[in-house]
Amino acid sequence: MGSGRTVAVFGAYGHTGRFVVARLRERGYVPVLSGRDAGKLAELAVSEPGLEVRPASVDDPVSLDRALAGAAAVVNCAGPFAVTAAPVIEAALRAGIPYVDVAAEIEANLDTFTHFADRARAAGTVVVPAMAFFGGLGDLLVTAALGDRTAADEVHVAYGLSNWHPTAGTRAAGAVSRERRDGRRVRYADGRLEYRRDDAPLVEWAFPDPLGTRPVVGEFTMADVVTVPSHLAVQDVRTYMTVEAAGDLAAPDTPAPTAADEHGRSAQTFLVDVVVRSGSSERRAVARGQDIYAVTAPLVVEAVDRILTGRTRTVGVASAGRLFDAPDFLRALSPHLTVEVHS
C-alpha cells in the first residue's frame, strides 16, 4: 500500500486523471493535484477534499518544480503529450523521482525513448511512457504470451471495443499526431515504422467469445508499435480496431464518455486479443474489461506502486513489459481485468 506517500498527478482534472487520483487514494497514496488550469484544479479539490493543489505550466519549469516538490513520483495524464511529456520528464529528472505517463501518441512515446533513455539511465531513475490501455496493456499481454522468449516473427493486437466515445484529450492528441504525420498513417513492418498515404485495409478478425469474427480496420496503429519493439525482437507489429469503434472515433459528433456505474465507468466494454507467431507456433493472450479510460488507472497506479516498492527489472526509459514481471502484473489487475494466456 502507499502508506501516505505523495504522488503528483499532472492533468489531475482530466477524464483519465480523475480515475488515477481516485485509484491512488484507494491504494493509500496521497495525490498532489496539478495541471495547467487552476480553476479546474480548484473544482476537483472540492470533490477530493484534503488534497493539495499545485497549478503548473509546461512553459514554466519553476512551477513544475514546485508541483513535484516532495513527491515520490509523478504521473502525467495531460495530453497532448507531444507538448507535456518532455517538460514534465525534465522536472522529474531534476527532482530525482520516477515518471509515468498514459500517452497513446506514437511520436511522443518515440521522443521519450529517443531523448531521455541515456539521461534517465545515468540518473538511476525510471521513466515509463504509455503505461495505459493503449501501449502498456498490449505490451504486458505480448510479453506474458511469449513467456521466456524475447523474439517473435509477428505480433498482432486486435482491439474489440463495443464503442469508442473519445474524450476531449483523445481528440486533441489525435489532432497533434495527424499534424506531425502530415496526414499520413503509420504502421510497423520489417522492423521499422512506415508512413503511408494509402487507406488502411479492412479485414476480419476472429475474436474469442463473445465477439466472434468481426470486421476490423487493419493497421489501425496504436502505441503498441513503440512499446513492444522497444524490448522484444519483433519484425512486424500490427494492431486492429473494430470498425464500429473506429467510426465512433472518426465522427466529429460522437459524444464524450458518460458514467454508467458507481465507479464513474462508462458502459463501454473491450476485448484485447493478442496473437504472437514464431515460425509454426502461435501464442495468445486475451484481456476483457470495461471502459478503456477507467482501466488505465489501475494499470498506472500498479506501475507506480511496483516502482516505489522496488519491483522493477531495470532503470532508464522502459515499457511495461520490460520493466515489470508481466504475468504477475496482469494477475494483480484481476479485480479490473479478466486475462487468459494460451501457449
Model-level pTM greater than 0.85?
A: yes
The reported pLDDT for the residue numbered 1 is 64
Residue 219: which domain range? 133-291+337-342
CATH of the domain at 225: 3.30.360.10
- Tell me, yes or no, whether 331 lies in a domain: no
Whether residue 139 is found in the same domain as residue 282: yes
Total number of domains constituting the chain: 2
Block means of pLDDT (10 residues each) for the chain, length 343 residues? Answer: 88 98 98 98 96 98 98 97 98 98 97 98 98 98 97 98 97 94 96 96 96 97 98 97 98 97 97 96 97 98 98 98 98 97 86
- Residues 53 and 124 reside in one and the same domain: yes
Ranges of beta strands (E only) in 114-211 are 126-128, 151-161, 185-189, 192-196, 202-206
Distance CA 68, CA 96 (A): 10
Instruction: Check residue 4 and give its pLDDT.
Output: 83
| Pick from 102, 142, 47, 39: nearest CA to 303 | 102
b vs e for 164-194, b when ≥16 Cβ sit within 10 Å of the residue's Cβ? bbbeebbeebbebbeebeeeebbbbeeeebe
141 and 264 in a single domain? The answer is yes
- Whether 329 is covered by a domain: the verdict is no
Q: How far apart are CA 293 and CA 104, in angstroms?
A: 11
282 and 304 fall within a common domain: no
DSSP codes joined into one string, 253-314: TPPPP---STT---S-EEEEEEEEEETTEEEEEEEEEE-TTTTHHHHHHHHHHHHHTT--S-
Find the CATH number of the domain harbouring 116.
Answer: 3.40.50.720
- pLDDT of amino acid 81: 97
